[in-house]
Chain A
Amino acid sequence: MHDHHKPNTKSEPAPAFTPALRKKIEGYLTRYETKRSAILPALHAIQDELGWIADEHVEILDKDYGLHRVQVREVLTFYTAYRQKKPAKNPIMFCNNIVCCMLGANEVIDKIKGHIKKYEERGMEAPFSVEGVPCLCVCDGAPAMIVNKDRHLKVTKDNVDEILERYAELPR
Chain B
Amino acid sequence: MGDTLNKVKITTAFEGKPNARALKTYVDNGGYTALKKAFSMQPAQIIDEVKAAGLRGRGGAGFPTGMKWGFVPKDDKGPKYIVCNNDEGEPGTFKDRYIAECNPHMLIEGMIIAGFAIGANKGYIYTRFEFFEEIRWLEIAIKEAYDAGFLGDNILGSGFKFHLDHYTGAGAYICGEETGLLSSLEGKKGQPKLKPPFPAVSGYLHRPTVVNNTETLATVPFIINNGAAAHKAIGTEKSPGTKLFCISGRVKRPGVYELPLGYPFEKLLNEDAGGMLPGYTLKACIPGGSSAPILTPEELKGLTLDYEAITAKGSMLGSGAIMIIDNTMSMVELLKVTVDFYHHESCGQCTPCREGTGWLANIMGGIAAGEGKKDDIERMNEISARMGGRTICALSDAAAMPTMSIVKKFGAEIADYIERGIRA
Is there direct touching of A and B in the complex, by C-beta distance under 8 Å?
yes
Binds B, one of A8-16, A18-26, A90-98, A120-128: A90-98
Asked whether A138 and B94 contact (CB < 8 A) given A34-B205, A40-B187, A81-B171, the answer is yes
Whether B188 lies near A75 (C-beta < 8 A) is yes
A93 & B254 in contact (Cβ 8 Å cutoff): no
Q: Please classify how large the interface on chain B is, using the bins under 10, 10 to 19, 20 to 34, 35 or more.
A: 35 or more
Q: Is the CB of A98 within 8 A of B323?
A: yes
Q: Say if the beta carbon of B325 comes within 8 Å of chain A.
A: yes
Q: A74 near B: Cβ within 8 Å?
A: yes
Q: In residues 56-115 of chain A, which contact B (Cβ within 8 Å)?
A: 71, 74-75, 78-82, 93, 96-99, 101-103
Closest to B94 in A: A137
Residues of A close to B133: CB separation below 8 A:
151
Q: Name A77's closest neighbour in chain B (CB-CB).
A: B189
B187/A79 in contact, CB under 8 A: no
Which of B170, B249, B338 is close to A79, meaning CB atoms less than 8 Å apart? B170
Chain A residues with CB under 8 A of B93: 135, 137, 139
**B367-382 interface bits toward A, Cβ cutoff 8 Å, 1 = contact, 0 = none:** 0000000000000000
**Cβ-defined contact, B341 with A34, below 8 A:** no
Q: Are A139 and B187 in contact (CB under 8 A)?
A: no
State how many angstroms separate the Cβ of A62 from the closest Cβ of chain B. Answer: 14
B163-199, CB < 8 A from A: 165, 167-173, 184-190
Q: In the complex, which of the residues B188, B246, B247, B256 has the most CB atoms of chain A within 10 Å of its own CB atom?
A: B188
- Min CB–CB distance A142 → chain B (angstroms): 6
CB-CB < 8 A to B323: which residues of A? 98-99, 139
Alpha-carbon distance A2/B328, docked complex (angstroms): 28
CB-CB under 8 A for A79 and B171, given A103-B250, A139-B92: yes
Q: Let me know if B88 is at the binding interface, CB within 8 A.
A: yes
Q: Which residues of A contact B344 (CB under 8 A)?
A: 1-2, 134
Is B169 a contact of A93 with CB atoms below 8 Å? no
How far is it, in angstroms, between the C-alpha of A1 and the C-alpha of B132 when the chains are bound? 22
| Alpha-carbon distance A107/B287, docked complex (angstroms) | 26
Residues A134 and B341 in contact, CB atoms below 8 Å apart: yes
The answer for the CA separation of A168 and B54 in the assembled complex, in Å, is 53
Q: Is the CB of B205 within 8 A of A78?
A: no
User: How many residues of A are counted as interface, with CB atoms below 8 angstroms from the partner's CB atoms?
Assistant: 44
Binding stretch for chain A, among B19-27, B329-337, B391-399: B329-337
Contact of B43 with A by CB under 8 A: no
What per-residue 1/0 map shows which CB atoms of B87-124 lie under 8 Å from chain A?
01111111001000000000000000000000000100
**A37 to B92 Cα, complex, angstroms:** 30
Chain B residue, CB-CB nearest to A135: B91
Given A78-B189, A137-B89, verify A97-B171 contact (CB < 8 Å). Answer: no
Whether A31 contacts B165 by the Cβ 8 Å rule is yes
Q: Is B286's beta carbon under 8 Å from chain A?
A: yes
Of the residues A34, A101, A140, contact of B187 by C-beta under 8 Å: A34
How many angstroms between the C-alpha atoms of A43 and B205 in the bound complex?
A: 21
Given A93-B130, A97-B337: A138 and B187 interface contact (C-beta under 8 Å): no
Measured CA separation A34–B124 after assembly (Å): 14
Give complex CA distance A129, B184 in Å.
28
A43, A71, A96, A98 — which one has the most chain B CB atoms within 10 A of its CB?
Answer: A98
Chain A residue nearest to B168 in the complex (CB): A44
Is A82 a contact of B170 with CB atoms below 8 Å?
Answer: yes
Hey, which chain A residues are within 8 Å of B333, CB to CB? 101
Residues from chain A with Cβ under 8 Å of B246 in the complex:
139-140
Task: Output the least CB separation between B161 and chain A (Å).
Answer: 15
A38 at the interface (CB under 8 A from B): yes
What is the CA–CA distance of A97 and B286 in the complex, to the nearest angstrom? 13
Chain B min CB distance to A165 (Å): 22
Nearest-neighbour CB distance to chain B for A20, whole angstroms, equals 18
Q: Which of the listed residues B89, B130, B341 has the most CB atoms from chain A within 10 Å of its own CB?
A: B130
* B90 proximity list for chain A (CB < 8 A): 135, 137
Chain B nearest Cβ from A57, distance in angstroms: 15
Query: Do residues B190 and A79 form an inter-chain contact, with CB atoms below 8 A?
Result: yes
Residues B186 and A137 in contact, CB atoms below 8 Å apart? no
The answer to whether residues A71 and B187 also contact, given A1-B344, A96-B337 and a CB cut-off of 8 A, is yes
Say yes or no for B315: interface residue by CB 8 A criterion.
no
A171 interface residue per 8 A CB criterion = no
- Which B residue sits closest to A44, measured CB to CB? B168
Most buried by B among A31, A99, A101: A99
A136-B132 Cα distance, complex, nearest whole Å: 11
**B170–A137 contact, CB under 8 A?**
no
CB distance from B187 to the nearest CB of A (A): 4
Identity of the chain B residue whose Cβ is nearest the Cβ of A33 in the assembled complex: B205
B248 at the interface (CB under 8 A from A): yes
Q: What residues of A have a CB within 8 angstroms of the CB of B186 in the complex? A: 34, 36-37
How far, in angstroms, from A103 to B324 measured CA to CA in the complex?
Answer: 11
> How many Å from the CB of A74 to the closest CB on chain B?
5
Q: Is the CB of B337 within 8 A of A140?
A: no
B residues whose Cβ falls under 8 Å from a Cβ of A: 79, 88-94, 97, 122, 128-133, 165, 167-173, 184-190, 204-205, 246-250, 254-256, 286, 290, 321, 323, 325-326, 328-329, 333-334, 337-338, 340-341, 344-345, 347
| Additional pairs, 10, CB under 8 Å, beyond known A78-B190, A138-B94 | A37-B185, A40-B167, A40-B184, A44-B168, A78-B172, A81-B129, A81-B169, A103-B249, A151-B132, A151-B133
Q: List 12 A-B pairs, Cβ < 8 Å.
A: A32-B165, A33-B205, A36-B188, A44-B168, A79-B171, A81-B171, A98-B91, A98-B337, A137-B130, A139-B254, A142-B248, A151-B133
